[in-house]
Homo-oligomer: A and B are copies of this chain.
Amino acid sequence: MKLKDELKREAIINETIAIVYAKGFAGVKMAHIAKKVDISPSTLYVYFKSKDDLISSIATDLLKNITNISQNQLKQDLPYKLKFKAIWVFYINFGINNRKEMSFITQVKQSPYFDMIPEHIRHLKSSFILDLLDEGKQQGLIKDVDNTILSALLGAFLTETIKLIDSKLLQLQEEDINTMFLLAWDAVKN
Contacts and interface: CB of A to CB of B under 8 A. Distances in A.
A157 B188 CA distance: 12
A26 B27 contact: no
Nearest to A184: B187
A111 B179 CA distance: 31
Interface string A134-161: 0000000001011011001101110111
Chain A interface mostly helix, strand, loop or mixed?
A: helix
Interface residues of A, number: 35
Given A148-B169, A149-B164, A169-B148, A27 B112 contact: yes
B183 A170 contact: no
A66 to B, nearest CB: 19
Interface of A: 23-27, 107, 110-112, 143, 145-146, 148-149, 152-153, 155-157, 159-161, 163-164, 169-170, 179-180, 182-184, 186-189
